[in-house]
Amino acid sequence: MSKTNGAIPLLGFGVYALAPDVTELAVGRALEAGYRHIDTAQSYRNEAACGAAVVASGLPRAEVFLTTKVTPRNFAVGKMLPSLRQSADRLGVDCIDLVLIHYPSPWDELPLEVYIEQLGEAQEAGLAAQIGVSNFTRAQMDRTVEILGPGRLATNQVEIHVYHQNRKVVDHCRKLGIPATAYCALARGMLFGIPEAGLGPHPLLLELAAKHAASVAQIGLAFLLAEGHVTLCTATDPEQIADNFAAGSLRLDAQDLASLRGLDMNKRIVEMPYFPIFD
């Protein structure tokens, strides 16, 4: 598996909204398919299931990259490091490969400095090999770099897919020399159309899928990978897990990429009242 920026594997398996028993089974299948990057979060309540699946896989610890995210309830002074020790215990590791701030403190209840400084302390204490953020605007990224110092921010995980390419945030990540990490990479199924409305996939996606003898999902994922994003996707069906992973071997040409960039509609799917409005 190719890697980028501090050896974050480009293609990751996410476990958002999966129950612990489903998570353990799905992560096991993902590792069998070839995934080596598992993305979870404290708020998902399935860190222990991820850790159990890694142990059951028999893979050496060094071969599996684990990401988790700190929930805002653990942002207060003195709370983050103990919470991450618990996360590490649930994951069955001494050091978590990548720890992210899940999203900024809702409605700026806590100043950015309070939790970003603790994030830096977690890395210094050896709880996190790399640190980053999620759902941060350009201004919040800049302030994070000011607080942490240069060279420490590993990524900003935000919603990115062909219908919401989040270009200003992505461009700012590139300016900072870090990859963006794309969640909702398949637009939570929107790439496959809206069956209840009688709509199938966009004709361009079908055209490119036929051209490359690939699935629509593979086209969507291969696009994000070609754009240089760390790309996360979720599935539970073994065939879909393997199909998604195979996107890592699909190469789109320059015209394909230009056409897919034209599908951007700024169509954000994850709308939470406490998430910042992206630039």
CATH number for the domain that contains residue 43:
3.20.20.100
Residue 190 has what DSSP assignment?
G
End-to-end CA distance of the chain: 32
Residue 9 phi/psi, 5° resolution? -60, 135
Asked if residue 272 is part of any domain, the answer here is no
Cβ-contact 228, 4 below 8 angstroms:
yes
Asked if residue 271 is part of any domain, the answer here is no
The helix or strand, by DSSP H or E, that contains position 159, with its residue range, turns out to be strand 153-159
Tell whether the model's pLDDT for residue 2 goes beyond 90.
Answer: no
The per-residue pLDDT for range 167-178, each reduced to its tens digit, is 999 999 999 999
Per-residue confidence (pLDDT) for residue 4, from 0 to 100: 41
Residue % of the chain over a pLDDT of 90: 90
Q: How far apart are CA 99 and CA 95, in angstroms?
A: 10
Asked if residue 278 is part of any domain, the answer here is no
2: exposed, middle or buried (Cβ count in 10 Å: 0-12, 13-18, 19+): exposed
Rg (CA), the chain: 18
Asked if residue 205 is part of any domain, the answer here is yes
CA 116 remoteness from chain centre:
19
Residue 202 phi/psi, 5° resolution? -60, 140
Please count the structural domains in the chain: 1
- 215/197: higher pLDDT: 215
113 half-sphere exposure, CB direction, 13 A CA radius:
2
Q: Domain range for residue 225?
A: 3-261
Asked if residue 108 is part of any domain, the answer here is yes
Asked if residue 270 is part of any domain, the answer here is no
Read off the pLDDT band of 272 (50, 70, 90).
confident
Asked if residue 269 is part of any domain, the answer here is no
Read off the pLDDT band of 273 (50, 70, 90).
confident
Instruction: Pick the closest to residue 229 from 130, 126, 127, 160 (CA basis).
Output: 160
Asked if residue 276 is part of any domain, the answer here is no
Say how many residues make up the chain.
279
- 2/83: higher pLDDT: 83
Tell whether the model's pLDDT for residue 141 goes beyond 60.
Answer: yes
Q: Is 44 labeled as catalytic in the residue annotation? A: yes
Among the ranges given (5-14, 30-39, 162-171, 267-276), the one the predictor scored with the smallest mean pLDDT: 267-276
Per-residue confidence (pLDDT) for residue 279, from 0 to 100: 65
* Sequence-distant (≥ 6) Cβ neighbours of residue 161 within 8 angstroms: 182, 184, 185, 186, 187, 190, 191, 220, 224, 269
Q: Which member of 16, 35, 44, 274 is catalytic?
A: 44
Per-residue confidence (pLDDT) for residue 278, from 0 to 100: 65
Mean pLDDT over 171-191 rounds to 97
Cβ-contact 146, 91 below 8 angstroms:
no
